[in-house]
Amino acid sequence: MTARIAQLSWICVVTLTLTSHLAAQDSSRGDHLTDTYRPVAGQLIGAALTDEVGWEKLIYLTTQVGHRLSGSIGLEKAIEWAGETMQKEGLENVTLQPVMVPHWVRGAEHAHVVGPVERRLSILGLGNSVGTGGETIEASIEVVGSFDELEELGRERITGKIVLYAVDWEGYGRTVQYRSRGASEAARFGAVAALVRSATGNSLYTPHTGAMNYADDAPRIPAAAVTVEDAAWMRRMAEAGETVTVQLYMEAEMLPDAESANVIAEITGSEMPEEVVVMGGHYDSWDVGQGAHDDGAASIAAWHALTLIHQLGLRPRRTLRVVLWTNEENGLRGGNAYRDYVKDVIDNHVAAIEMDGGNERPIGFGVTVPGAQGPSRGMPGTPDQQVANSRTQNALDLTSQIGVLLEGIEGGLITSGGGGADIAPLMQEGVPGLALRTVGEHYFDWHHTDADTIDKVSPVDFKKAVAMLAVMGYVLADMPERLDGR
């Protein structure tokens, strides 16, 4: 109760002081967006910080629906609920855009060490993996620390073994490659299965799942993630000259594609309704945990930002649209389907905003205008690159002015480099992309695990995200100029 009172007190203080803080900003810089949108930014931020309905939506999604893997009953329940609720809230043009999605089912799975000692291994099968064909695979472990080491060992050492990628954590971007293509690389050398150290820097004996892909020119073998602790133990056993033997059983299988949908709603623009600013997150999650940080909080935050704008009676010049994308985790079908859905009017998309990095404390936005590339070896770049670079600078200048409006909630940091998996198809067609950024301190501790639950999300951080998406989305949709200067 004390913590709750403190939280409410903080919100009240921020709300009461926000307008004065914005008014105190130095207007001598000529930041016309900052000056113009101070009043509406104060309205939106105040509404977001004092609202409870958005948080209640997130509680419902994570607690009463739970995880939402593509093809699951949970995802379809969440989609139906979102569409119905958006209509009740009065949002416009609510649409469930049909999307066919992969339907991977985990089934029962377990792994045990049977020699030289007996112990259970905690595993999570990797998304899209095949199963063990109704049989239990028993084989010795061959530990490798890289693809180069796998190749050095060669077929003679690998054939008939279970390859364990006990790799060092080098950040998600570098470490995740072993999850995505490790099975096929091991299969090329005759491995019967692959185990992968979970893609995280910290662990409390929690395995992390995630998508993997099979190469067309390699056999398909089962693949699962093991905990950081078990990967390290098996590596130390190998270094001590011990041969670890494991039994692996997985029922995973890919069923025929299933029907799903992107959930779309909007506020139609008052002057340029054909031009669109789209924002959102992916609505699906893995079949573990609750999909709270990845990506339920973002989906609800973007949706509720639109709801608050509507409830305040605000209507920007351009159309402001929210999309809850389906099937980001193991197929990217939703993002591609949306691109196809708007293919004839993609040039009218002036910006796309995605939040898919968890909902820790939000700090700002990254911005990218596709096609930009800095000078190389003293050369100014091609004419097209120079134009794109100029548009990027224009976008950074404009979003930096909007960022000033968010400094009162410590959300005004604007940097180059924005985007996301679901808006990538739009960005490939030239649409400027933005990503909401957070401090990113613990996201990969619970990413793709049973620990991705709502207790890891701070209500204050969630409300800040709602406020930031509301302000950024509204101003981009309402300001006279396009973000990229065209």
Q: Which residue has the higher pLDDT, 390 or 338?
A: 338
User: 18: pLDDT confidence band, cut at 50, 70 and 90?
Assistant: very low
Together in a domain, 180 and 292:
no
Please indicate, yes or no, if residue 485 is contained in any of the structural domains. Answer: no
- Give yes or no: residues 351 and 413 share one domain: yes
Residue at 185 is within a domain? yes
Q: Are residues 400 and 458 in the same domain?
A: yes
Shared domain check, 130 and 45: no
pLDDT score, position 327? 98
Judgement on whether residues 140 and 210 belong to the same structural domain of the protein: yes
pLDDT for position 392: 82
Domain around 393: 2-102+256-478
pLDDT at 137 over 50: yes
The reported pTM is 0.92
Which of 251, 272, 290 is the last residue in one of the domains? 251
User: Quick check: is 371 in a domain?
Assistant: yes
Residues 278 and 143 in one domain: no
What are the CB-based long-range contacts (under 8 Å, 24+) for 141-147?
141/195, 141/234, 141/238, 141/243, 141/244, 141/245, 141/246, 142/191, 143/234, 143/235, 143/238, 145/235, 147/178, 147/185
Domain boundary at 236, 251, 266, which? 251
**Could you tell me if 322 and 434 lie in one domain?**
yes
How many domains does one find in the chain?
Answer: 2
End-to-end CA distance of the chain: 52
484 is a domain residue: no
**Residue of 486, 363, 352 lying closest to 431 (CA atoms):** 352
Per-residue confidence (pLDDT) for residue 28, from 0 to 100: 35
220 and 325 together in one domain:
no
Question: Which of 218, 251, 284 is the last residue before a domain boundary?
Answer: 251
Statement to judge: residues 470 and 321 lie in one domain: yes
Q: Is the pLDDT of residue 340 over 90?
A: yes
Residues 17, 98 share a domain: yes
Task: Give the pLDDT score at 377.
Answer: 43
Q: How confident is the model at residue 484 (pLDDT cuts 50, 70, 90)?
A: confident
Residue 16: strand, helix, or coil: helix
Q: Which residues are catalytic?
A: 328
pLDDT tens-digit readout, 47-98: 999 999 999 999 999 999 999 999 999 999 999 999 999 999 999 999 999 9
Could you tell me if 348 and 436 lie in one domain?
yes
